[in-house]
Every structure is written in structure tokens, then in C-alpha cells.
């Protein structure tokens, strides 16, 4: 009797287990974790589709898109990680999400071509720079309108530059990036549709500053007159969507905190397709706000979002599943992030008269051969394979691999070479004891700390790997991941650190954006950070630091790309030779997009949605 009962229980448990395992069908265990870079061959077929054309219809100058003719309707569901936008005021946006969303609604005079990286006109019909490189003449398109029907004209441009940007309203980084010798360019309207910018000196990075969104003067002038606080809170996240007066291809329809931001098509946008139909095609463009990357992946798998940036082991898994799925995976090449190891080259004392760095360690770190030896000991290929699961490429240059200013000669660097590294150390008087430990010329055992931010599993793994690599040189590393905030405190304030693994994001288009890092007075001159009082009459600049200072000054003054490239090639050479930062790798940008969209032509510089107005939903 009892046995029968137990058998019954067993059968029931079995049935329940079967049902559950069917529902929760787990991926095959042989799913690869790493991926060979060949399997992700870059989309070679990205062909430049030619320049944008300007077409005049009924007194309006439209921009003509370059893709195939699509059809109207449909929604594209995107997502954003984090808390969602903080404001929809593009001039006050201080974080990437807010900027991305508000810039959908407000166009700039120019934009960046997603294929070539060149500056191309947007609200402007043309931008001309005179021979002196100081006078920029911008002609606006005819017939441009704000969403309330008022014309967009030169007054709006002058207001945006002279009042909002020069006046320091909202986010001041636009002003900080345009100040030339402490002066803002002079901006004036020549006629209704022509604006002239005069910079005090030739300043190449200025052209890209013209991407700044243009503001509707008739709405924002009264707000700006009330002061900065009023301006900062204007067009915030609680504003009714119909209060926005916009110029971009999409307009805010609804913002639901912690859930999603819905944008609706601007039916009167100034772009048309090849048949002369008004763009954009999509009715709606939605951002779901997700807390973390795992939730984003789940949302993509359950088909609630249409595009997903992939990283790490997810790439191999999604690539494997791609054949039986409704999405395609695009490899957009290396992204703009850079991961590097840096030594503290600081030889100064703090206000208490104590050295920031122990004098013995100062000697090692400031030894060019020592840094080069460390560079040669690091196995970058191994790091890419094991830490990034193959989704990255080794990096040797200070400019990211996607940069238009990349120094092609240094791109492939020099493969790791332990023997050469040991020779360099010998040249500098380092020796090894009988246990294989590295000693300096005074007999000190070479041992130091590397810090990074705890919680970033990638950097933690990299730290362990570097520790193992440097053991081959007999160097002992104490690897200490610490809290991000504490790390920043050490790097920017207390300056008491020895070596750090960290990453910075650069601009692939404008090396001048790195001046805060490279110029000796920069606020992020990490490897030899000088405090305010150190800067007053800094005499301890090394020759190559001086040269970098000079390059970053001259590189901005040169106007011709070729001439600028020479300067920035040289800066990458210096960094390669002197190793203030030892670059390790860049991640690859891998994106999955559902197949039912047309005109998807992802590029390295523009990503998947650079031609959002042309993207349409297929049958």
C-alpha cells in the first residue's frame, strides 16, 4: 500500500519536472563562450552612398536622404540603461541619455557624416571657412520651421550662441570647448539666413562645435532673461510634451518615469526620400528604460526591443542563435573606449612635505625603459581572448582604433616580447636575485600596487592578468580593486597611488577633446597630475610633456586636416615611446538588430541608427 503511494509521488514529481524543464528549456551546454574574431568579420560592405543633396520644393530647401525608398508607419523600440533622461533641454543635458534624447528634438547647424566623419550641413545649407581660418559663414536652409510654425532663422542661431552658450546657461561644456584664449567667437547675423562666426584665432575644433543644437529664440529668450535657475529647470522631464517647440526629426510624445520615453514623428521635418516623400518613415520611436544590461538582454530576447548592443560572452551566444532567429548581428569595429595601465610619474611632495610616491618607486616609474618593459610584457591578445571573450582588439595607440586621426604606423604596435623587456631592464641597471625577483640598482625588490575600481569585473580580470604577465619579469604586483569614488579621490585629489588600470572614452573625430588629459595643465593629466599650486611655475616638465603641450596647442590652430594629422600622429608616437599610458585593448561594438527593418546600414562612427529618418518597417 505504502509503496504504491510513493510510486505515485515519484510519478507526479517526474511529470512536474518534465513540464518545468520544457518551459524553462535551457540553452545547449556546448554554447561557446568566446568567439574568434574572424567570425565577426567587420561589415566590409559599408559603401559610402554619396553626399547629401539639397532639393528645393516650394521655396523650402530639403535635405535628400541617401537610402532606398521605404514605407511609412511602425515603431522602433530601443532601450537605455540607467535612470532615464534627467531633462529634455539639450543645452542643460549633462548626461549621455539626456543629450541623446533631447538632441533628437533639436537639430544643430551641422552634423557628422556617419560614413566619413566629415562635418556636413544639417540646419545649415552650407558652411564656408575663409582662408584665414577664423571666419565661418553659415547659410541656413530656406523655409525651415519650428514645430509651432515660426521660421528658423539667423536670429535663433545668434541667440543660441551669444546668450545660451556664451552666457554659460545650462551645461557649460559647450562654452568650455569653444573658449579660445578665454574668448568666445563673435557671432552675428548678416541677413535673415546668414550667420557669421569670427574666432579670435584659427581654431580647428570649432567647426565641430557647430553641431550644438539651435534654440528657438521666441520661446527661450524670456526664460533665459529670468536667469540660470529658470533656464535649468525649463523643458525638464515633467514638462507637458505639447509645450516643446522643436526642430528635430522626432518629438516627445510621452515620458513615463522608469518605464519608457515615447517619441513621435515630426511630420514637417525638412528631409525627403528619393521620391520626394517627407521623412522620417517611422511613426514612433520608443526608448525603454532598463536598470541594467541583463534586463536589456531579456527584453531583446522577449522581443520587446528591436536593437541591442552586445558584449562579452553574449556575443558568442547570440551569434550562435542568429541562424534561427529574426535578427542580424553587425560588427561596427572598435569603439572609442580605451583601457590602459598608467604609472604615477609624480615626483613632487604634498603640502605636508611628504612625497606622493615613494622615492624608490618614483625612480622605477620615471624610467622610460621600465615602462617600455612593462608594455612589452603585457599579452594583449590573451587579454582580448580571455577577458573580452574575443570581442575586442589589442590597442597600442592613444587615439582609439576608430579615430580618423589614428596613426596607422603604430596601429599594430609591437608584439609582446619578454626577452626584449628583460634587456631593457638590464640596460637601466635592474638585476634579478636567485629567486627570480627583480631588483633595482640599489638592491630594492621591485614591488608595487595596481589599483582599479572594484565591481568592474573586466578591469578586475585584467588586473589579475597583468599581475601574472609582470611576474614573468620578476615584478611583484599587489592588485587592489577599490571603490570607484575612492579611486577617483586618489587619482584627482590625494594623488597617492602607484599604478592604475582605468579607461577613458575619447572622441573618434577630435583629438583636441583629449587636451584635458594630455596637456600638463589638464585636470585629467592623470599620470603626472599637478595641483593648482604646482602649476604656478612648473619647472619639472619633462621634454616629452613639453612637446605634448605644444602639439595640443598647435594642433588646434592648424586648419587643414593633413597638417593636423601630422601633429596628432606625433603625439601618438610620443605616447607609444614614453608610455605614460600603456594601452591594452578596445572593445568591439557589436549590435543585434531585428530583420524587419529597412535601410539598416550601421557604420563605425554613426552606429545603427545614424539614419533614423530613413529606417522603415518592412512587410
Residue placing its CB nearer to other proteins in the complex, 18 or 486: 486
Give yes or no for residue 340 binding other proteins (CB under 8 A).
no
Which listed residue (153, 177, 325, 456) binds other proteins by CB under 8 A? 177
CB atoms within 10 A of CB 17: 10
Shortest spacing between CB 538 and other proteins, in angstroms? 16
Size of the site for other proteins (CB under 8 A): 58
Nearest to 198 by CA among 184, 210, 219: 184
**Angle at CA of residue 502, ends 496 and 507, nearest 5°:** 125
Q: In 3-state terms, what secondary structure has residue 347?
A: coil
Give yes or no for residue 242 binding other proteins (CB under 8 A).
no
Q: 403 and 514 in contact (C-beta within 8 Å)?
A: no
Which of the stretches 205-213, 297-305, 396-404, 557-565 binds other proteins when contact is defined by CB under 8 A?
297-305
Measured over the CA atoms of residue 263, residue 268, residue 269 and residue 271, the dihedral's sign is: positive
Which of the stretches 266-274, 288-296, 339-347, 383-391 binds other proteins when contact is defined by CB under 8 A?
288-296
Which listed residue (34, 42, 233, 313) binds other proteins by CB under 8 A? 233
Which listed residue (118, 225, 238, 431) binds other proteins by CB under 8 A? 238
Residue placing its CB nearer to other proteins in the complex, 18 or 488: 488
Provide φ and ψ at 251, rounded to 5°: -135, 145
Contacts of 30 (CB under 8 A, 6+ apart): none
d(CA 59, CA 600): 31
The secondary structure of 20-45 as a DSSP string is HHHHT-PPPTT--SS--GGGG---TT
Which listed residue (126, 277, 304, 441) binds other proteins by CB under 8 A? 304
Cα distances from 529 to residues 191, 268, 519, 522, 541, in angstroms, run 48, 51, 10, 8, 11
Binding mask 54-93 for other proteins (x = CB under 8 A): ---------------------x-x-----x--xx----x-
Q: In 3-state terms, what secondary structure has residue 365?
A: helix
Give yes or no for residue 218 binding other proteins (CB under 8 A).
no
The length of the chain is: 619
Give yes or no for residue 484 binding other proteins (CB under 8 A).
yes
Q: 202 and 559 in contact (C-beta within 8 Å)?
A: yes
Residue placing its CB nearer to other proteins in the complex, 305 or 600: 305
Shortest spacing between CB 384 and other proteins, in angstroms? 24
Residue placing its CB nearer to other proteins in the complex, 290 or 605: 290
Which listed residue (514, 580, 598, 606) binds other proteins by CB under 8 A? 514
Locate 176 and state its grid cell: 568650455
Which listed residue (73, 222, 227, 291) binds other proteins by CB under 8 A? 291
Residue placing its CB nearer to other proteins in the complex, 489 or 607: 489
Residue placing its CB nearer to other proteins in the complex, 173 or 412: 173
Which listed residue (173, 277, 412, 433) binds other proteins by CB under 8 A? 173
Which residues within the stretch 86-105 sit at the binding site for other proteins (CB under 8 A)?
A: 86-87, 92, 94-95
Which listed residue (284, 348, 480, 554) binds other proteins by CB under 8 A? 284
Residue placing its CB nearer to other proteins in the complex, 314 or 331: 314
d(CA 126, CA 35): 45
Which listed residue (232, 358, 496, 550) binds other proteins by CB under 8 A? 232
What is the pairing mode between strands 194-198 and 260-265? unpaired
Give yes or no for residue 237 binding other proteins (CB under 8 A).
yes
Q: In 3-state terms, what secondary structure has residue 582?
A: strand
Give yes or no for residue 506 binding other proteins (CB under 8 A).
yes
Burial of 566 (0-12, 13-18, 19+ CB in 10 A): middle
Locate 141 and state its grid cell: 536652409
Q: 586 and 401 in contact (C-beta within 8 Å)?
A: yes
Give yes or no for residue 494 binding other proteins (CB under 8 A).
no
Give yes or no for residue 21 binding other proteins (CB under 8 A).
no
Locate 1 and state its grid cell: 500500500
Query: How many angstroms from the chain centroid is the CA of residue 212?
Result: 17
Gyration radius (Cα) of the chain, Å: 28
The secondary structure of 73-127 as a DSSP string is --EEEEEEESS--SBS-TTT--SHHHHHHHHHHS-BSEEE-TTT--EEESSEEEE
Shortest spacing between CB 75 and other proteins, in angstroms? 7
Which listed residue (7, 256, 535, 538) binds other proteins by CB under 8 A? 256
Nearest to 382 by CA among 396, 394, 371: 394
Shortest spacing between CB 94 and other proteins, in angstroms? 8
Shortest spacing between CB 349 and other proteins, in angstroms? 22
Give yes or no for residue 19 binding other proteins (CB under 8 A).
no
Which of the stretches 35-43, 115-123, 286-294, 318-326 binds other proteins when contact is defined by CB under 8 A?
286-294
Give yes or no for residue 31 binding other proteins (CB under 8 A).
no
User: For binding to other proteins (CB under 8 A), which residues are involved?
Assistant: 23-25, 75, 77, 83, 86-87, 92, 94-95, 171-173, 176-177, 232-233, 236-238, 254, 256-260, 262, 284, 286, 288, 290-291, 295, 298-299, 301-304, 483-486, 488-489, 491-492, 502, 504-506, 513-514, 516-517, 523-524
Amino acid at each position: 500500500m505504502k509503496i504504491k503511494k510513493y510510486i505515485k509521488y515519484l510519478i507526479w514529481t517526474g511529470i512536474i519536472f518534465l513540464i518545468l524543464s520544457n518551459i524553462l528549456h535551457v540553452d545547449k551546454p556546448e554554447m561557446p563562450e568566446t568567439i574568434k574574431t574572424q567570425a565577426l568579420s567587420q561589415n566590409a560592405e559599408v559603401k559610402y552612398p554619396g553626399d547629401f543633396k539639397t532639393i528645393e520644393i516650394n521655396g523650402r530647401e530639403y535635405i535628400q536622404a541617401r537610402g532606398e525608398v521605404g514605407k511609412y508607419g511602425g515603431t522602433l523600440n530601443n532601450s537605455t540603461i540607467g535612470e532615464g533622461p534627467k531633462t529634455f533641454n539639450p543645452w542643460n543635458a549633462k548626461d549621455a541619455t539626456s543629450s541623446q534624447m533631447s538632441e533628437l528634438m533639436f537639430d544643430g547647424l551641422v552634423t557628422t557624416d556617419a560614413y566619413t566623419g566629415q562635418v556636413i550641413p544639417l540646419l545649415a545649407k552650407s558652411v564656408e571657412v575663409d582662408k584665414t581660418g577664423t571666419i565661418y559663414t553659415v547659410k541656413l536652409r530656406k523655409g525651415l520651421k519650428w514645430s509651432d510654425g515660426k521660421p528658423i532663422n539667423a536670429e535663433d542661431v545668434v541667440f543660441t550662441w551669444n546668450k545660451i552658450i556664451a552666457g554659460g546657461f545650462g551645461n557649460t561644456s559647450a562654452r568650455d570647448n569653444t573658449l579660445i584664449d578665454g574668448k568666445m567667437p563673435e557671432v552675428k547675423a548678416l541677413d535673415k539666413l546668414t550667420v557669421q562666426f569670427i574666432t579670435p584665432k584659427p581654431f580647428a575644433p570649432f567647426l565641430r562645435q557647430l553641431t550644438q543644437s539651435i534654440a528657438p529664440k521666441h520661446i527661450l529668450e524670456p526664460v533665459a532673461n529670468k536667469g540660470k535657475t529658470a533656464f535649468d529647470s525649463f523643458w525638464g522631464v515633467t514638462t507637458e510634451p505639447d509645450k516643446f517647440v522643436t526642430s528635430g526629426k522626432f518629438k516627445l510624445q510621452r515620458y513615463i518615469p522608469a518605464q519608457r520615453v515615447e517619441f513621435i514623428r515630426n511630420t514637417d521635418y525638412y528631409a525627403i526620400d528619393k521620391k520626394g516623400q517627407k521623412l522620417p518613415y517611422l511613426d514612433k520611436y520608443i526608448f525603454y528604460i532598463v536598470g541594467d544590461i541583463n534586463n536589456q538582454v531579456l527584453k531583446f530576447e522577449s522581443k520587446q526591443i528591436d536593437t541591442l548592443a552586445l558584449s562579452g560572452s553574449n556575443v558568442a551566444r547570440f551569434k550562435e542563435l542568429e541562424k534561427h532567429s529574426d535578427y542580424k548581428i553587425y560588427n561596427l569595429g572598435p569603439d572609442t573606449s580605451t583601457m590602459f595601465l598608467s604609472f604615477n610619474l609624480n615626483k613632487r611632495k604634498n603640502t605636508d612635505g611628504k612625497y606622493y610616491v615613494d622615492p624608490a618607486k618614483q625612480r622605477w616609474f620615471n624610467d622610460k625603459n621600465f615602462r617600455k618593459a612593462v608594455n612589452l610584457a603585457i599579452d594583449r591578445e590573451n587579454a582580448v581572448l580571455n577577458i573580452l571573450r574575443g570581442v575586442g582588439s589589442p590597442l597600442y595607440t592613444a587615439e582609439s582604433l576608430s579615430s580618423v586621426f589614428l596613426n596607422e604606423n603604430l596601429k599594430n604596435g609591437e608584439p609582446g616580447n619578454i626577452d626584449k623587456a628583460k634587456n631593457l631592464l638590464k640596460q637601466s641597471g635592474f638585476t634579478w636575485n636567485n629567486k627570480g625577483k627583480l631588483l633595482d640598482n640599489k638592491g630594492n625588490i621591485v614591488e608595487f600596487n595596481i589599483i582599479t575600481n572594484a565591481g568592474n569585473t573586466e578591469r578586475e580580470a585584467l588586473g589579475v592578468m597583468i599581475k601574472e604577465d609582470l611576474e614573468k619579469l620578476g615584478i611583484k604586483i599587489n592588485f587592489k580593486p577599490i571603490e570607484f569614488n575612492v579611486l577617483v579621490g586618489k587619482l584627482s585629489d590625494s594623488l597617492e597611488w602607484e599604478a592604475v588600470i582605468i579607461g577613458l572614452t575619447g572622441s573618434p573625430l577630435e583629438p583636441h577633446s583629449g587636451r584635458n588629459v594630455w596637456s600638463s595643465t589638464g585636470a585629467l593629466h592623470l599620470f603626472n597630475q599637478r595641483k593648482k599650486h604646482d602649476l604656478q611655475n612648473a619647472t619639472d616638465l619633462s621634454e616629452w610633456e613639453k612637446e605634448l603641450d605644444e602639439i595640443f596647442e598647435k594642433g588646434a590652430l592648424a586648419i587643414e586636416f593633413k597638417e593636423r594629422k601630422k601633429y596628432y600622429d606625433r603625439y601618438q608616437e610620443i605616447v607609444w615611446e614614453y608610455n605614460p599610458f600603456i594601452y591594452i585593448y578596445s572593445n568591439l561594438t557589436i549590435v543585434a538588430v531585428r530583420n524587419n527593418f529597412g535601410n539598416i546600414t550601421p557604420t563605425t562612427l554613426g552606429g545603427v541608427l545614424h539614419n533614423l529618418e530613413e529606417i522603415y518597417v518592412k512587410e
